[in-house]
């Protein structure tokens, strides 16, 4: 809100004199400060660089240690399943005070997740096979869907061929995962590692680009004019 002189005002509500601080609207340093603050609010290039390095490290572990990586992934899956089971069982205990079909449903689903989580630690190969079958079915369905979409889409011939070929490749990978689960699991883990490594390299390159941009846009100083005005109501 502005006072009678067109400058930013303040409501004291007590009728006494007070000191008011403001930036002159005609001073170009105000816009310089706003630009500097907007630049400083952006994510630092150091965060992008750190994320890229972590992504490369994770990718190397996934590529060179696929069996260990798969076991760790299964352990994480087990932890998540147990947490979901605890939440569902707690919800079943809460709703058990009333009447309705919700309590037994939550109880059954919670016990199922609890068993799955326990098997992920006790028999990880069983859960790995179960997840492999689910992943195979998903790959086959998605691959056939992509191939069918590429056949009926009115795109260019090159794009249509790429979509159909990608869909067929995914479907074949799903079929291979059904009959050769161990080989396909290691292959998928290594492909995931390559993806992480490529993403890390892109992040590191982007971090250096962000650094150069920050060096160009950083003014190095803030020159602001603060005027003190005393007004008596």
CA distances from 180 to 132, 184, 216 (A): 10, 6, 54
Grade residue 102 by pLDDT with cuts at 50, 70 and 90: confident
Q: What are the residue ranges spanned by the domains of the chain?
A: 43-69+125-231
Q: State the average pLDDT over residues 68-86.
A: 93
pLDDT tens digits, 32-64: 554 544 444 455 788 889 999 999 999 999 999
Where do runs of H (alpha helix) occur along 41-123? 45-64, 66-95, 102-122
pTM of the model: 0.60
pLDDT tens digits, 144-195: 999 888 888 766 788 888 888 999 998 998 888 888 878 888 888 898 899 9
How many CB atoms are located within 10 Å of the residue 195 CB?
Answer: 14
From CA 174, how far away is CA 182, in angstroms rounded?
13
- Going 114 to 115 to 118 to 121, the CA torsion angle's sign is negative
From CA 57, how far away is CA 69, in angstroms rounded?
12
């Amino acid at each position: 809100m502005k006072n009678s002189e067109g400058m930013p005002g303040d409501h004291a509500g007590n009728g006494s004199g007070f000191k008011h601080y403001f930036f002159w609207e005609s001073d170009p340093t105000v816009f310089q400060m706003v630009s500097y603050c907007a630049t400083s609010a952006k994510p630092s290039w150091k965060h992008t660089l750190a994320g890229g390095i972590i992504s490369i490290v994770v990718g190397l572990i996934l590529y060179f240690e696929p069996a260990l990586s798969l076991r760790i992934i299964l352990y994480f899956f087990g932890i998540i399943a147990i947490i979901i089971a605890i939440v569902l069982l707690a919800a079943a205990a809460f709703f058990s005070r009333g009447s309705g079909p919700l309590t037994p449903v939550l109880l059954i689903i919670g016990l199922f997740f609890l068993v799955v989580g326990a098997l992920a630690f006790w028999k990880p190969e069983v859960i790995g096979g179960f997840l492999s079958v689910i992943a195979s079915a998903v790959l086959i369905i998605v691959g056939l869907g992509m191939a069918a979409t590429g056949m009926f889409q009115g795109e260019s011939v090159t794009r249509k061929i790429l979509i159909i070929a990608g869909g067929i490749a995914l479907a074949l990978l799903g079929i291979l995962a059904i009959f050769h689960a161990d080989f396909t699991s290691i292959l998928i883990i290594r492909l995931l590692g390559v993806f992480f490594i490529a993403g890390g390299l892109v992040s590191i390159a982007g971090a250096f680009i962000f650094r150069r941009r920050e060096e160009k846009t950083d003014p190095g100083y803030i020159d602001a004019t603060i005027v003190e005005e005393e007004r008596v109501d």
